[in-house]
Amino acid sequence: MPRHLVIMGAAGSGKTTVATTLSEHLGWIAAEADEFHAAASIAAMTSGVPLSDDDRWPWLESIRGWMSTQARNGRSTIVACSALKRSYRDVLSGAEGRVQFVHLDGAPDVLAKRMETRRGHYMPVSLLPSQLEALEPLDADEDGLTVDFLEAPGHICAQILQGLLLAGS
């Protein structure tokens, strides 16, 4: 059965780096959830306006649809996606195949420093507080694990592979 790993967390937590590293190791197709946003949503965030839940539902449904399409074609996936709220993760969990979440968690001040130094991304540091306010950690009944984002990417990936029983993959 195809599997999907959603690498989640606030902006600056290293989702894309970890997703790319895992994709290279596992040979699974990877996607950046930002690529599924409508142009209007990207424009809003670029201007420092946080998205509402109503803005996010079509985005999440689009990601879920992509994951299901990949599963129907026998492919497992890795998606770098904030997936901040349980309700958002519930939408993504509806994809065909097994959906697991990896929450990259850590100190908010580190997130802000990372966001200030990164280049080529539209998300301003001013939106970090709204992300942290919306963030709901994984519940015990959700399929996944939480990893400290301060570790080196290779170590984070090793923890994920071992924690989700993918180490032999």
Q: What is the pLDDT of residue 44?
A: 79
Closest CA to 31 of 76, 79, 96: 79
DSSP state of 17: H
Q: Which positions ≥6 away from 59 have C-beta within 8 Å?
A: 33, 36, 37, 38, 41
> What pLDDT, in 10s, does the model give residues 75-128?
999 999 999 999 999 999 999 999 999 999 988 777 767 656 656 555 566 677
Where are the domains positioned within the chain? 3-163
Q: Does an H or E element contain 146, and which? A: strand 144-148
Q: What is the pLDDT of residue 121?
A: 52
What class has domain 3-163?
A: alpha beta
Q: What distance in Å separates the CA atoms of residue 87 and residue 90, rounded to the nearest whole number?
A: 5
Q: Which positions ≥6 away from 57 have C-beta within 8 Å?
A: 91
